[in-house]
Chains A and B, each alone.
Chain A
């Protein structure tokens, strides 16, 4: 029988090496051997996703690899999650994410959602062409820690600023961090509209949110 360390490494490798077909089998083997699901997630799958992110930063991997690796991670999670102990699920930081009203290009936003989810954040994805009001309403409803907005079109950038104004008007601005991204967005723009941060890539977005939340790195839970 394989050791726990061997199986964790296999789980991690399945994610990095994009073996989305094999990962489920390894996860099953891991559970059947009686090892704890939580470790399998954090030290196996999430570790793999972290290595994927590193490869992205080194420019070895690009958008397609991030997506296929995340498919592998999700396939593994499908097997491991049902075996988590109830007590192992805990409060996670909540992020509301969406493409602002007027724009329907959402590949970048989807990548950010995936990477933040892998990093252990509870994601509430409002989709694309999202009414500005909805960002505020959703954040209020779930007591979000972060609002993340993206756009590909410079014509819709003013919407980001309006969301921030709505948050101020409702006295919510100090309760939630706001981050922005997308091709036409620059750090200067983020600063100008009073956002808390900007990131150029999905991988950077994780570091940004970690920094804003004051955590080293979140780990995925249930």
Chain B
């Protein structure tokens, strides 16, 4: 055994024991002290730790990631080291997400929940799910009827406690998805399920832990004003991508990880909260997961269609959820086409040299003032503190501004400018020299790949519908990513065609608001199931000639 001593940021020192030869990333991830988008494959450079033992060998990848001074201080990438002897570490400051978007756009609807209670002739309470009796409770419990509307995202989970009698949300809380330690995106999660014994069940356990924590949290949050216990929760509805739903149900997601990317199921899934998932809720509680369209267009997207009502609105609507995967739906007078594209983690600030999550210290907006050689950079930083890097919105704002001012050629190449410098043969644009924040040519290339993926998805769908951009009446941007984003950054960086700038609306967490509708209306539930079956799905990577569309869409 070897001793692992960790000096935490807050001055606390903790000590652990570990078998020798255990990978350091795996060890720290097991303690939930660290997570990296690549899941510890040596790819992303985000699992930074400071090893305080002297003379720790340094690999090529680390020389790219750290400055010489940092390497001398002991900064290393955890995934490239194993625990060979007693080791002492310091961890970088913990990233705290400032806000998880918990609310989403919601249209009007008629309140008529699937779960209802009525009194029988003996004065006992009958619990009904639709027309079916699912339980009988002694005496009159009709005033205790609550539900949860949940969005399970790959990165974050949001839960709202809802009074089923009137639809009021009493509390809403969120947390990071604990499966993060198994990898940042759905493919790495599927891979974990495929390659580890009980990999599916381990991840199911993780998500159920998170849900238990959230249930406890919402009950605690409203305990001052209401006397609700978690046993008063009779129904849970869940919007989530199809991988998340498979893992929640403990169903092997492997088949979605390989072509032809077939899920084990797409229809709405109903589980028993206590028997199947061991959640601390009413013994009669059901868990309803919204239906998916395909492996990569899931219940989070059908929830978005439902919440925004794009299936029933006249006119043409483009709905986009931007993340590691960009999912999108195009409605032509209610006829729906959907696709999903692999945008990669760049837009979430990963794979970007100065990339950070949207937390305190992140630059969320960049503006270039002046013109020509006199251009100066202005930034806005979350929390108004010393900037630590660029988050997704800052990254796109910077790229959009570089395109606008002509410092970035349409091919994606940085042109000559006083703020463009070359270091060791590599070009970069200086955003904040004092705080060493730069946008490198390589970063711009990463954005180019992401924006090529999204734009080519949009183009392909618009083409499949036989339309052109001018016919699109509105663009709805959903998800965590869009919140801090200006419409002009989305179009200026070329993710969304410029002619659509004036019709972009941010709709927030529609995965949760779609789940909310299904919690409060049986009719909405039937609608989403019908709509999910009517969406035609385009698998972009199977299309002939998609390469050309993608490559062309990389132009700014």
Contact = CB atoms under 8 A, between A and B. Distances in A.
Interface string A89-101: 0000000000001
A110 B547 contact: yes
A101 B195 CA distance: 16
Contact of A63 (B41, B80, B191, B551): B551
Q: Is the interface of A mostly helix, strand, loop or mixed?
A: loop
Contacts of A153: 187, 191, 257-258
B258 A102 contact: yes
B224 interface: no
A19 to B, nearest CB: 15
Contact of A105 (B39, B41, B541): B541
Interface in A174-201: 183-184, 186-189
A129 B191 contact: no
Nearest to B442: A59
B548 to A, nearest CB: 9
Contacts of B191: 153-155, 157
Contact of B257 (A59, A60, A155): A155
A158 B547 CA distance: 26
Contact of A184 (B38, B194, B449, B547): B38
A4 B259 CA distance: 51
Nearest to B445: A62
Nearest to B42: A186
Contacts of B555: 64
B188 A154 contact: yes
B254 interface: yes
Contacts of A61: 411, 413
Contacts of B427: 59
B490 to A, nearest CB: 21
A101 B552 contact: no
**Interface range, A side:** 20 to 34
B554 interface: yes
A24 B547 CA distance: 24
B121 to A, nearest CB: 57
Nearest to A60: B413
A22 interface: no
Contact of B259 (A63, A102, A184, A187): A102
Nearest to A152: B342
Contacts, number: 81
B550 interface: yes
Interface centre among B43, B542, B550 (most CB of A within 10 A): B43
Contacts of A107: 547, 550-551
B412 interface: yes
Contacts of B426: 59
Contacts of B547: 106-107, 110
A43 interface: no
B259 A154 contact: no
A162 interface: no
Contact of A156 (B257, B411, B539, B541): B257
A106 to B, nearest CB: 8
Nearest to B43: A186
A91 B250 CA distance: 55
Interface string A47-78: 00000000000111111110100000000000
Contacts of B38: 184
Interface in A3-57: none
B441 interface: yes
A98 to B, nearest CB: 13
B190 interface: yes
A110 B545 CA distance: 13
A107 B555 CA distance: 16
B425 interface: yes
Contact of A189 (B39, B41, B541, B542): B41
B174 interface: no
Interface of B: 38-39, 41-43, 80, 183, 187-188, 190-191, 194-195, 254, 257-259, 342, 344, 411-413, 425-427, 441-442, 445, 448-449, 539, 541-542, 547, 550-552, 554-555
Given A62-B445, A155-B194, 6 more contacts: A59-B426, A63-B449, A64-B555, A105-B342, A153-B187, A187-B42
17 contacts: A62-B554, A64-B551, A64-B555, A67-B551, A106-B541, A107-B547, A107-B551, A152-B342, A153-B187, A154-B187, A154-B188, A155-B257, A156-B257, A157-B191, A184-B187, A186-B43, A188-B41
Please list the 5 inter-chain residue pairs (A to B) with the smallest Cβ-Cβ separation, ordered nearest first.
A102-B258, A155-B257, A104-B541, A59-B441, A154-B191
